[in-house]
Amino acid sequence: KNQVEQSPQSLIILEGKNCTLQCNYTVSPFSNLRWYKQDTGRGPVSLTIMTFSENTKSNGRYTATLDADTKQSSLHITASQLSDSASYICVVRRNNDMRFGAGTRLTVKP
Amino acid sequence: NAGVTQTPKFRILKIGQSMTLQCTQDMNHNYMYWYRQDPGMGLKLIYYSVGAGITDKGEVPNGYNVSRSTTEDFPLRLELAAPSQTSVYFCASSYDPPGEQYFGPGTRLTVT
């Protein structure tokens, strides 16, 4: 209950390729969902926020989707760059409580 | 604007020692948070504060204490360090609860 699970745990792709990261949650009631990017040795930085009524939101080459019925979100990265190598964390808010996923570690290779 | 700053960046403690992790934000945010991040796990909330003089426990408060005497500062105190407290600690702040949290760079703590 009130869990956030992300898949895959880690992913390696070639520069220029696209990829999709998954987030499934059981957090209830749902307030909003954020995707954060965490570079190695740094704190997380917000990429997108989605509320219950939003299906898709883009931030440059990052596009997040949300299906509140099935409690699933995805983060699609287009035309990956070396600087996209990082951990991507899905965070679901329930009232004043936030639940963090363990993250997906993405490595982009030249 | 420095955002959220944390000191120290790294620290090694012996079992039973005490230390304070410092956190300062210059964005005039009311809400501040302390998290720990263990390898392969999501961030877990230790303590949070909704304003100066007000603090409350998060998910994993045991072994830690906090205080909030000013809007800017939110130090985290470890009284009797244990190996289970080996982790990376992040401080964060936000303008309001649903808003974006801004994270500091983290403190990597090892207890041996």
CB-based contact A89:A36 (threshold 8 Å): yes
- Mean per-residue pLDDT of chain A: 94
Q: What is the pLDDT of residues A3-52, one digit of tens each?
A: 999 999 999 999 999 999 999 999 888 889 999 999 998 999 999 999 88
Query: Which residue type occupies A77?
Result: I
A96 pLDDT tier (thresholds 50, 70, 90):
confident
Closest CA in chain B for residue A32: B98
Report whether pLDDT(A77) > 90: yes
A99 contacts in chain B (CB < 8 Å): 42
Q: Which of B13-17, B26-30, B39-43, B101-105 has the lowest mean pLDDT?
A: B39-43
At B85 the pLDDT is 97
Across B80-88, average pLDDT: 96
Rounded Cα gap, residues A45 and A66, in angstroms: 19
Q: How many CA atoms lie within 13 A of B68 on its CB side?
A: 22
At B50 the pLDDT is 93
Q: What is the pLDDT of residues A60-74, one digit of tens each?
A: 999 999 999 999 999
Closest CA in chain B for residue A35: B100
Nearest CB neighbour to A44, from listed B41, B45, B103: B103
Determine which of B37, B48, B96 to mutate to test the interface with A (most A C-beta atoms within 10 Å). Answer: B37
Q: What is the pLDDT of residues B4-29, one digit of tens each?
A: 999 999 999 999 999 999 999 999 99
Closest CA in chain B for residue A98: B45
Rounded Cα gap, residues B7 and A21, in angstroms: 33
